[in-house]
Amino acid sequence: MSGGGDSKPVEKKKDEKKGFDTRKFLIDLASGGTAAAVSKTAVAPIERVKLLLQVQDASQTITADKRYKGIVDVLVRVPKEQGYAALWRGNLANVIRYFPTQALNFAFKDTYKNMFQKGLDKKKDFWKFFAGNLASGGAAGATSLCFVYPLDFARTRLAADVGKGNEREFKGLADCLVKIAKSDGPIGLYRGFFVSVQGIIIYRAAYFGMFDTAKMVFTSDGKKLNFFAAWAIAQVVTVGSGILSYPWDTVRRRMMMQSGRKDVLYKNTLDCAVKIIKNEGMSAMFKGALSNVFRGTGGALVLAIYDEIQNMDNNTFSFESLPPITQIRLTSFTGECGGRVCLNTSKITPQQQNGPTCGLVALSMCLEHFGVKTSAETILEKAKSMNFTKQGEMYSAHYLADLTNHFLPNSANAREMPNAKEFTDAIGEGKHILVAYDCGPNFQPVYVKGHSAHWLLACGFVEKKEDNGFVETRESVADPSEIAIIGYQGKSKNLNVFPFNDIIASNAQLFEAGSKRDPSEYIIPDPSDLSEIRNRVIEIGINS
């Protein structure tokens, strides 16, 4: 039955409480910082547009006759009047700000979570949990802001500086901080601090409330989210939260503009908000909001780049680094509770199939994970030469195992369908599993006797756990109803999440190829009995 040499069991890494992991922290900080630097630099021109529109009415250097009329006007005039490099003015402070912010968040997140949310059940004590979430978020935000607020202040003032050459108010980041500290004292660098904390709480309330409401509406009664629904929810929640909290951001930016001025426009944050509405209208609270929506694309870029860099470390899992669609699919399976996740997706580049090549595409992604970069086309040519396929179809687990062993010797084993414990044991050891199932709408498992047989590369799993969050695990799970398979398949470039029992049940009814599969055009060991893929999987791993 074996399609190759058996892999030696790899010693599992048990889920155990550890102290501060310096290496992981530094990897997270460096990879996240690199991603942030690239993404923030990419959207810096839009960020400057947003800030100029937001604060120009409170700026001494932008007179009434020179104020910008909108996004396009800023993008046209700034390069013309200040040079193209001016579009990135203030970006250095924004990039530098990331590192202490992330370090402080890492240091304080568990402290505040335990302080405000420990022992609370999200289902039974929703409103207490909700309040705790806001309190912990506000406390963590306030703590981080205590250290990084001067950098945010400098970024705003530099972005609002429309001078050129010697006409500029500030020569750079250090000059801005020194000048304001000299004229106003250290307090001048913290104008708008308290309204910033309020803004964080408002944003978290909106995000937390909308995200949970969306999940309740779209994932109730076992409903599955398709790609577009998941994408739309992620965008609406992020954009909606940003717009609802935007007035607080406007007030804090206006307060920042007061430092260094002899004439005081606003007595305090409340006076600032009242005067903005009274003198400029309610719409002034949302100046630059549209460009802020456009800037949101930077968030997606952060996730994509961060995920790619994080994959360099095989055993690193970060729920926040996963694409929003994958996050929603995971929470859709686990419901209101959290989960323990094991994910082996290092260096995988998602691929989509061309023709009936789902098994070969899945194998190509698997090989890439284990360090063998081989295209599906190359695998197809080899499979044809071995007389395993004609068009890319793979109706034999043994064929697929032999094909795997050709490219990655002694790595694959065709075996009977594993139970939940065996499956999670294998994934926990760093292995991948190729399994066939009938693929239906939204790539979900269906039961059509093998007429829609499709290969899935299982590279992870998630277990439901009432622990209010997602954490990494390498431990096995015996209860099949409590786990879902995480994997790639050739019809989507996104990680998919399927209940374990659904995949098993779909595989168990793979009986026939169907009338569309002409035996003269495809290689099928027995078209009337798909026993070569039914109750069979290919387990792939590197010997240690």
Residues of the chain with pLDDT below 70 are 1-25, 27-29, 31-32, 35, 105-107, 109-110, 113, 117-124, 126, 207-209, 211-234, 296-321, 323-325, 335-337, 466-469, 543-544
In whole angstroms, what is the distance from residue 203 CA to residue 140 CA? 14
DSSP3 helix / strand / coil % (the chain, rounded to 5): 55, 10, 35
pLDDT tens, residue by residue, 220-274: 555 555 545 655 666 777 788 889 999 999 999 999 998 888 888 898 999 999 9
Res 300: pLDDT: 44
In whole angstroms, what is the distance from residue 432 CA to residue 250 CA? 50
Residue in the structure block whose two tokens are 């569309």:
516
In whole angstroms, what is the distance from residue 55 CA to residue 39 CA? 23
Contact 206, 240 (CB under 8 A): yes
Res 292: pLDDT: 83
Contact 52, 156 (CB under 8 A): no
In whole angstroms, what is the distance from residue 238 CA to residue 211 CA? 9
In whole angstroms, what is the distance from residue 513 CA to residue 302 CA? 43
Query: Which fold does the domain 341-540 belong to in CATH?
Result: Cathepsin B; Chain A (3.90.70)
In whole angstroms, what is the distance from residue 311 CA to residue 266 CA? 49
For the chain, the domains span 22-310, 341-540
Res 211: pLDDT: 61
Residue in the structure block whose two tokens are 């001025």:
261
Res 448: pLDDT: 93
* Angle CA 473–474–476, to nearest 5: 105
Distances from the Cα of 398 to the Cα of 29, 311, 362, 475, angstroms: 44, 30, 15, 28
436: phi then psi, degrees, rounded to nearest 5 = -95, 145
**What is the end-to-end Cα distance of the chain in Å, rounded?**
23
Res 472: pLDDT: 81
User: pTM higher than 0.75, yes or no?
Assistant: no
Res 377: pLDDT: 95
Res 27: pLDDT: 67
Establish how many alpha carbons lie within 13 A of residue 70's alpha carbon, considering only the half-sphere containing its beta carbon. 2
Q: Give the start-end residues of each E strand in 128-255.
A: none
Res 14: pLDDT: 39
Comparing CA positions, the residue from 153, 193, 196 lying closest to residue 176 is 153
In whole angstroms, what is the distance from residue 138 CA to residue 147 CA? 15
pLDDT tens, residue by residue, 126-182: 677 777 777 777 777 788 888 899 999 999 999 999 888 888 889 899 999 999 999
Contact 477, 261 (CB under 8 A): no
CATH homologous superfamily of domain 22-310?
Mitochondrial carrier domain (1.50.40.10)
450: phi then psi, degrees, rounded to nearest 5 = 105, 0
Residue in the structure block whose two tokens are 């530094």:
26
In whole angstroms, what is the distance from residue 370 CA to residue 364 CA? 10
Residue type, 357: T
In whole angstroms, what is the distance from residue 234 CA to residue 64 CA? 39
Res 214: pLDDT: 67
pLDDT tens, residue by residue, 321-361: 676 667 777 877 776 567 888 888 877 889 999 999 999 99
